[in-house]
């Protein structure tokens, strides 16, 4: 499931320096980086039928040198290329100075104001910059963001922290970030995803062995591998083989959460769902049972997975049921919503069966009983201590599992920030648990499918118009395309 490795900007600087110390050429790296950036810029302009005009935003460091190299390649391909250089030529890095001269020699022009058309190429601050952008860079970032022109950031949007996504002060609002080598942790932490836009990798000639040696903080989820996790559907299977789920969900006035979770599980392939809730309004496919601990224990002998928490509320009755189940679980479970609220009160609880927890940031802080300042290390530690798989919902979604590297899932989008979408996710993952997937695989495949379905809906209904029940009806359509 692991795709590209994600490392900090500091680790990237370390391995790049180590490769140069071992004989690689920083000049060759800059040339390859600039060439790749120019090719991607050309493709972007061609695809969007834009004016063949590029304006370089150039700072002091080698990030600006990358921009000059890209500008030189574009000039050779008959682009109009302008540059706004905020510092004198003698103030920039030696490599940048070299390519500044070449840029002028090839006919590149320097200007003091942003044009009204074309594309902007951000080479103001690289991943090595620390702290907020200072003047005169800060003012140019503000003008660039206000220009409404497409913004392509080289390696990282200027002003964004490459290690942690810290965004103090103004930051380039990139249309795409053309990252060099591997994605940086700052893209996915803090406010990183508010600024990076789309991500496109640029090969600058670093030998893959250096990336293999680099200390990673996580891996991107490999989209191409996800369909291979889909459970096999045997022609002779019956509904219990398809996946029998026991659900503790819903309460008076909050039955929508239970219904959405259960129907999402059905649409994802589950064969039968028994909801321990006396109220029988709602979809006819759901089997209802009054809560009875003895009956629940009996059904666990036949069921394959538990779905716990959506809409159960925080009453004493809900607490008693949830506490009983946590103490008597025999089969894999997914716990969400108010189930997590009660779990947070049981600090010393030890899970006896495989379990998936699906908190959002505030719920995770409640489980940890501390602020989430370093989500990757804090959540991984909790996963190890509790022997649990964790799906930390957000932009992006992180998946943690004991003894395994963290996964970063990029599918989805802001349209999923609606009431009920988390209940749908719980149902999807429960279905994969019930169909026999291990917790890490079920969490990854379920989160990925949920995000994919959300993207598909937003193509038609936009991020404004998506609602949770749209997801349930779209699941079969997306599955049909995948299989």
The per-residue pLDDT for range 325-369, each reduced to its tens digit, is: 999 999 999 999 999 999 999 999 999 999 999 999 999 999 999
What pLDDT is attached to residue 282?
87
73-107 per-residue burial string, b: 16 or more CB within 10 A, e: under 16: bbbeeebbbbbbbbeeeeebbebbebbbeebeeee
The per-residue pLDDT for range 440-478, each reduced to its tens digit, is: 999 999 999 999 999 999 999 999 999 999 999 999 999
Counts of helices then strands in the chain (DSSP H, E): 16, 18
Maximum alpha-carbon separation in the chain: 84
The answer to whether 77 touches 51, Cβ cutoff 8 Å, is no
Report how far residue 136's alpha carbon sits from residue 168's, in angstroms, rounded to the nearest whole number: 16
The per-residue pLDDT for range 371-422, each reduced to its tens digit, is: 999 999 999 999 999 999 999 999 999 999 999 999 999 999 999 999 999 9
What pLDDT is attached to residue 67?
98
What are the extents of the domains in the chain? 2-216, 225-482
Is domain 225-482 annotated with CATH 3.40.1190.20? Answer: yes
Q: Order of strands, edge to edge, in the sheet holding 244-248? A: 2-6, 218-221, 404-409, 397-401, 389-392, 355-357, 333-335, 305-308, 244-248, 272-276, 287-289
Class level of CATH domain 2-216 = alpha beta
Residue 304 has pLDDT above 90, yes or no: yes
Contacts of 256 (CB under 8 A, 6+ apart): 250, 311, 420, 423
């Amino acid at each position: 499931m692991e795709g590209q490795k994600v490392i900090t900007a500091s680790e990237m600087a370390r391995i790049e320096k180590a490769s140069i110390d071992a004989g690689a050429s920083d000049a060759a790296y800059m040339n390859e980086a600039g060439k790749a950036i120019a090719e991607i810029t050309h493709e972007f302009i061609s695809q969007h039928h834009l004016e063949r005009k590029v304006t370089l935003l150039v700072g002091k460091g080698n990030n600006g040198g990358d921009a000059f190299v890209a500008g030189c390649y574009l000039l050779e391909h008959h682009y109009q290329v302008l540059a706004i250089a905020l510092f004198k030529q003698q103030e920039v890095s030696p490599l940048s100075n070299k390519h500044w001269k070449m840029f002028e020699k090839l006919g590149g022009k320097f200007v003091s104001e942003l044009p009204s058309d074309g594309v902007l190429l951000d080479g103001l601050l690289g991943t090595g910059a620390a702290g907020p952008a200072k003047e005169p860079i800060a003012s140019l970032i503000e003008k660039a963001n206000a220009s409404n022109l497409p913004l392509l950031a080289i390696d990282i949007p200027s002003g964004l922290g490459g290690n942690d996504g810290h965004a103090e002060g103004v930051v380039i609002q990139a249309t795409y970030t053309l990252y060099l080598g591997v994605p940086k942790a700052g893209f996915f932490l803090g406010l990183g995803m508010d600024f990076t836009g789309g991500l496109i990798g640029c090969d600058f000639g670093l030998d893959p062995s250096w990336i293999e040696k680099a200390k990673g903080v996580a891996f991107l989820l490999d989209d191409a591998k996800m369909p291979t996790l889909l459970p096999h559907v045997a022609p002779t299977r019956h509904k219990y083989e398809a996946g029998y789920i026991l659900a503790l969900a819903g309460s008076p006035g909050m039955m929508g959460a239970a219904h959405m979770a259960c129907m999402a599980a059905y649409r994802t392939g589950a064969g039968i769902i028994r909801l321990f809730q006396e109220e029988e309004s709602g979809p006819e496919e759901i089997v209802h049972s009054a809560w009875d601990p003895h009956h629940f224990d009996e059904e666990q002998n036949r069921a394959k997975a538990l779905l716990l928490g959506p809409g159960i509320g925080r009453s004493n009755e809900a607490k008693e049921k949830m506490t009983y189940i946590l103490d008597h679980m025999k089969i894999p479970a997914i716990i969400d919503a108010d189930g997590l609220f009660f779990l947070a009160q049981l600090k010393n609880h030890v899970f006896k069966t495989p379990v998936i927890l699906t908190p959002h940031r505030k719920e995770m802080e409640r489980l940890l009983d501390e602020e989430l300042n370093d989500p990757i290390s804090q959540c991984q530690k909790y996963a190890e201590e509790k022997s649990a798989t964790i799906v930390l919902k957000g932009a992006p979604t992180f998946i943690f599992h004991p003894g395994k590297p963290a996964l970063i899932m990029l599918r989805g989008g802001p349209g999923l920030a609606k009431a009920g979408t988390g209940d749908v996710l719980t149902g999807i993952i429960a279905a994969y648990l019930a169909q026999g997937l291990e917790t890490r695989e079920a969490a990854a495949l379920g989160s990925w499918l949920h995000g994919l379905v959300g993207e598909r809906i937003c193509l038609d209904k936009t991020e404004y118009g998506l609602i949770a029940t749209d997801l349930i009806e779209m699941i079969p359509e997306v599955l049909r395309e995948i299989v």
